[in-house]
Structure 1
Amino acid sequence: MSKPYDAASKDLLQLDPAAWAGFVGVVRPPDRVALTDSDLSAVTAAADKVVLIRDAVPWLLDIEFQSWRDPTLPRQLLKYNALLHDRHKCPVASVLIVLAESADSPAYTGRYGVAPPFGPAWDFGYTVVRVWEASAEALLAGPLALAPLAPVSDVALDAVPDVIRRLADRASGESDPATTDRLLTAVGLLLRLRYGQMTSSELISRYPEIREMAPFKKFLDEGRVEGRAEALRAALLRQGRKKLGKPSAEHEAALAALTDLVRLEALTEKILDVTTWGALLEDA
């Protein structure tokens, strides 16, 4: 979960943990919700921050953002849940927020079944929230930390510019310039995830009042790099299918997670010398 989309979402989580708790269905007063360290840095880089719910019996809400398809994710959620429970000695609820349809997977059912050859079978349950199913109007009218989700929620593509303008107007009126930049930077990244670099850039470039906003100027510059990365990943998939056969879901997810141009370009040469997807992606 190392893509910049996930980092941007975690930044929004830090802006207003109570708003995000409410978004996934845990409605509490702000003074009863706080972001806290997971204390799992020695074990995993994921789940670095978790939400503490100060009920009569305090408990943790582990919110994980996902921007790429990973069929192994439910097992990872179980691992994080168990580690957090052991470390903090309190109940833990896990929530998966899928940021775009391209990141969705049939594996994200909200249940992860465990059926050992001996002893009772059991299920690990978690909550799944799919951003593109959320109401854009509700997000625009709700807490500001959730508003960047509105352009990538349940909204038609031709309505996205108006949603962005409304979001920008509200952000500039309710927050300081630095926070406004953080919010609009997140919008740019989420647009790219939902619609792809080309469509997002065309959408932004078409409207001067949006194009001239500082975060979107930066987005257009960075988009040229991301566009190159997208092209390299697509080329590797095409070449790999011909030379190495159909990739497994795990290998396809691993390739989708690569964003570094140097590493991707190195793979375009390495693919000439390997015979399996595993060998290609080893140490990538």
Structure 2
Amino acid sequence: MPTPFDATTKELVRFQPEDWLALLGLPPEPCELVDTDLATVSTEADRLIQVNSTPPYLVHIEFQAGHDGHAVPVRMLRYNVLADAQTSLSVLSYVILLRPEADSPALTGAVERLRPNGSRYLAFEYGVIRLWKLPVANILRGGLATLPLALLCDLSATTAENVVSSMATRIETEARVESKRKLWASTYLLAGVRYAPQIAGKLLEKAVAEMKESMTYQKILADGREEGIAQGVALGERRFFLKMATRRLGEPDAATLAKIEQASAITIEQWGDALDQVETWAELVKA
């Protein structure tokens, strides 16, 4: 299922595909987006970049905001094989995790299958990038297309306000008018992964006017992405609630995380109100 941020991340890859090579640790080369018919399996699988090196190869990027750890490795393998079959090019696959709640022990970067005798008959590797562990400086000095990811990175050495200021400097000096609007719109929408809407709005208040004028933003709305934005807001509120609750109750187990993932915004708000009245996760999220 497409994530609430699917249209945004897809647009950023289309914007300047060569910028994503640096984020993935790949050598700079001329790039172009490839439109292959992987939509028969899922619309999420169309972020394919052809790198025109010698020889050429493909880069497949998958973005993950929700906890779907056990399904992701198999999905990465399936998309990799499909892209290979349709293009006859080597395919490098990467999953970019947008927030800690998307992580899982299953995301090892490898898929193996064994014969009954224990010998391996299949080995597939894919890259895993956990944005919250990536120093924000890496993004701030990278390409413009990856700049909207900055607020989701490791900010331990700086502040969100400083990050936005650094972004503004680059966007104002390097981007054209419509690109500025596109980048700020994407930044605002992706900020919902980590921040409640009030916080995101405060951080990006100077960019709101640009965002509302963005053709990308208007297209997202026209395509029915109001629902996606609402889901993004819910993700931000859930992230904030989980952070506060973990400070009080400790790390939740997998079953509790799954329950939080499925909870409505109203339920999250009720749990937040009850947080100072309980001592355990079980008490807080009881049915």
> With structure 2 as the length reference, what TM-score do the two structures score?
0.70
Kindly provide the CA deviation profile for residues 127-152 of structure 1, in whole angstroms up to 9, marking residues without a partner as x. Answer: 11111122222321221112112222
Relative to structure 1, the CA distance from residue 90 to residue 255 in structure 2 (aligned partners, 3 Å threshold; closer, same or farther) is: same
**Separation in 2 of the partners of 1:192 and 1:19?**
23
Letter of the structure 1 residue corresponding to residue 211 of structure 2: P
| Equivalent position SS for 2:2 | coil
Give the CA deviation at 1:248: 6.9
**Separation in 1 of the partners of 2:255 and 2:116?**
26
Answer whether contact 2:160 2:203 (CA < 8 A) is retained: no
Paired residue total: 241
Alignment correspondent of 2:94 = 95
Q: Which structure 2 residues correspond to residues 256-275 of structure 1 after superposition, within 5 A?
A: none
2:105 paired with 1:109: no
Kindly provide the CA deviation profile for residues 226-277 of structure 1, in whole angstroms up to 9, marking residues without a partner as x. Answer: 488569999xxxxxxxxxxx99799769948x99x9xxxxxxxxxxxxxxxx
Alignment correspondent of 1:172 = 172
**Does 148-157 or 13-22 show the bigger shift?**
148-157
Give the CA deviation at 1:179: 1.3
Answer whether contact 1:38 1:49 (CA < 8 A) is retained: no
Relative to structure 1, the CA distance from residue 176 to residue 104 in structure 2 (aligned partners, 3 Å threshold; closer, same or farther) is: same
Answer whether contact 1:69 1:253 (CA < 8 A) is retained: no
Q: Which structure 2 residues correspond to residues 154-193 of structure 1 after superposition, within 5 A?
A: 154-156=154-156, 159-193=159-193
Give the CA deviation at 1:207: 7.4
Give the CA deviation at 1:8: 1.2
Answer whether contact 2:152 2:194 (CA < 8 A) is retained: yes
Answer whether contact 2:164 2:203 (CA < 8 A) is retained: no
2:18 paired with 1:18: yes
Letter of the structure 2 residue corresponding to residue 20 of structure 1: W
Alignment correspondent of 2:80 = 81
Answer whether contact 2:48 2:58 (CA < 8 A) is retained: yes
**Separation in 2 of the partners of 1:42 and 1:96?**
20
**Separation in 2 of the partners of 1:247 and 1:160?**
30
Give the CA deviation at 1:157: 9.8
Answer whether contact 1:6 1:67 (CA < 8 A) is retained: no
**Separation in 1 of the partners of 2:96 and 2:230?**
26
| Equivalent position SS for 1:162 | helix
Letter of the structure 2 residue corresponding to residue 201 of structure 1: Q
Alignment correspondent of 2:62 = 64
| Equivalent position SS for 2:61 | strand
Q: Which structure 2 residues correspond to residues 1-284 of structure 1 after superposition, within 5 A?
A: 1-29=1-29, 31=30, 33-70=31-68, 71-117=70-116, 120-121=119-120, 122-156=122-156, 159-195=159-195, 197=196, 200-205=197-202, 209=206, 212-215=208-211, 225-226=230-231, 255=262
Q: Note the aligned Cα RMSD (angstroms).
A: 3.7
| Equivalent position SS for 1:102 | helix
Alignment correspondent of 1:278 = none
Letter of the structure 2 residue corresponding to residue 142 of structure 1: G
Answer whether contact 2:189 2:229 (CA < 8 A) is retained: no
Letter of the structure 2 residue corresponding to residue 84 of structure 1: A
Give the CA deviation at 1:57: 2.2
Letter of the structure 2 residue corresponding to residue 49 of structure 1: R
| Equivalent position SS for 2:167 | helix
Give the CA deviation at 1:215: 2.4
**Separation in 2 of the partners of 1:78 and 1:158?**
37
Question: Unmatched 5+ residue regions in structure 1?
Answer: 235-245, 262-284
Letter of the structure 2 residue corresponding to residue 215 of structure 1: M
| Equivalent position SS for 1:123 | strand
Letter of the structure 1 residue corresponding to residue 98 of structure 2: L
Question: Unmatched 5+ residue regions in structure 2?
Answer: 240-252, 267-287
Letter of the structure 1 residue corresponding to residue 42 of structure 2: T
| Equivalent position SS for 2:32 | strand
Give the CA deviation at 1:40: 1.9
Q: Structure 1 vs Structure 2: percent identity of aligned residues?
A: 29
Give the CA deviation at 1:116: 3.7
| Equivalent position SS for 2:39 | coil
Letter of the structure 2 residue corresponding to residue 77 of structure 1: M
| Equivalent position SS for 1:46 | helix
Letter of the structure 2 residue corresponding to residue 44 of structure 1: S
